[in-house]
Amino acid sequence: MRSHTLFPTLLLLGSLALTAGCSSGVPESSGTASADARPDSTSSAAETVDPSTIKGLNIVNDNSEHKSCPFATSYPDVPGARAMTAAMKKDVQERLASFRSGACTAGAGGAEGRDLNISHQFLVASGDVLGVRLTTQDHEAAGSGLSTRTYWYDGKAGAYRTALGLVADGSRDDFVAALKDRLQGREGVDATALHDAFAGPRERTTVLDDMAFTADGGLRVEFDSGEVGTPAAGSYVVTLSREMITPWLSAFGQRAQRQTVSPGRPLDLGAAHVPVPVVPTHTASGDDDTDCRKVKCIALTFDDGPVVPETANLLTGLARYKARVTFFTVGQNVSAHPDLVRAEAKAGHEIGNHSWNHPDLTRLSPEQVASQLDRTNAAIKAATGELPAVFRPPYGAVNQTVRSATTMSPVLWNVDSEDWRCRDAAKVAQTVIGKVRPNAVVLMHDIHATSVEAVPGILRTLTARGYHFVTVSHLRATL
């Protein structure tokens, strides 16, 4: 077989030059991951939720690949839970604005070690109850920078509930007393901080912002680092048994408890209209026989999906030109939209691994890296029946720890479309067309509508110039 010494070198080049006319300095974000949540912060009940069963679910994603301002955020938008979605959007945008003002301002010098990741997890989605946890890892923040918050929606009342809404008003004093009793005496707990954290209604709502039921109906309460103890002591978790907590629950809390322990009918929050996503049915006609040693080839790659409706629209556009591409999918999005991943594979595209929730893998332990990649592999295999052969580390950040955690081959890029910076379809197309050369690997993102809109122009122009669109693995194999 012909030597591939040149091509792997090209894959490890990351072009991060700025695109004239789009923006300068800090990339603007339309606004609408983190490492794995803390080992003790995920209840067994939360793992049972299958997001693909939530009708009309839309995962709202945003990202930046800028080396001085890398971030990735996601939160769910569920039909009928508009107020809850608005609360999550507000919190995500505020956290992102704070991060960007500190880490990404002009003159920050592109300091290394700064990134923000906000990922989501469904706690319960059954009947008229929806519960979501957002996990934030902010490496710009002091201390660990890790925090969590839960959001609740009461479909029966048509109302967004804070975590404290799980507890009846008249029982909150007893509830708080039980929490304080279990926290007092723990190593690192500060008596003054503990008192101040529960001083009044406002303080209680602030500190009691992560509450969820366990599989057996107990209530698990998590306190972020520094809230009730010294920051160095980290987070604290208190779990109250079902027997203790049940008498203190609000009517909504009782329903949330029941739906967590014994999920009933499918989630129905009374939305007047639930969109039904269109899933393309394009089917590839056999294997790709393009010989990239004889013709000009290009590998378009799309990160961070699948999402609706952008990924479906992209598949339709690619089919018109019989173009094949590589999708580097994020596990939490694969679990929400496995039908789109199946459609990608059926149409002859390559499915790659892009981690579970888009953290910088080089910051994680070997076990955490393996979890990020293995969970995503499992979701891809469940959707397509096949395990991926390639992965793309978020932000292109890869080291020996990351490489050693998987047998998959890492894939970077040598042409950056900068669609994460420039939300203008015409300029994105111009950037790709202007930079491309034979055997190029192009970085794009199917979470951005403007990126999808840019693709037909790219395909049309480059096809006329004699280019063939192939997957990364096909390009590698035929060079």
What is the band of 103 on the pLDDT scale with cuts at 50, 70, 90? Answer: low
Q: Residue 53: is its pLDDT beyond 90?
A: yes
pLDDT for position 9: 36
Give the number of C-alpha atoms closer than 13 A to the C-alpha of residue 308, restricted to the C-beta side: 23
Residue 457, classed as helix, strand or coil, is: helix
The more confident residue out of 5 and 260 is 260
Measured CA to CA, the distance from residue 75 to residue 238 in angstroms comes to: 26
Tokens of 73: 């955020």
Q: Which of 96-105, 213-222, 257-266, 334-343 has the lowest mean pLDDT?
A: 96-105
Enter the tokens of residue 271: 């939305």
Q: Side-chain half-sphere of 223: how many Cα atoms within 13 Å?
A: 28
pLDDT for the residue 105? 63
CB 369, CB 353: distance < 8 Å: no
C-alpha 401: how far from its chain's center?
22
Q: What confidence category does residue 10 fall into, taking pLDDT thresholds of 50, 70 and 90? A: very low
Q: What is the pLDDT of residues 144-189, one digit of tens each?
A: 789 999 999 999 999 999 999 999 999 999 999 999 999 998 999 9
pLDDT surpassing 80 at residue 104: no
Residue 102 confidence (pLDDT) above 50: yes
Residues that are catalytic: 303, 445
When the pLDDT of each residue in the chain is averaged and rounded to a whole number, the result is 88
Res. 275 pLDDT band, cuts 50 70 90: confident
- Of 447 and 36, the structure prediction assigns the larger pLDDT to 447
* In contact, 278 and 316? CB cutoff 8 Å: no
Find out whether 45 and 261 touch, Cβ atoms under 8 Å: yes
Answer with the residue of higher pLDDT: 193 or 118.
118
Instruction: Report residue 435: phi and psi, to 5°.
Output: -95, -20
Q: What is the pLDDT of residues 298-353, one digit of tens each?
A: 999 999 999 999 999 999 999 999 999 999 999 999 999 999 999 999 999 999 99
Tell me the pTM: 0.88
Instruction: Evaluate whether 469 touches 321 at the Cβ level (below 8 Å).
Output: yes
Residue 33 clears pLDDT 50, i.e. is over it:
no
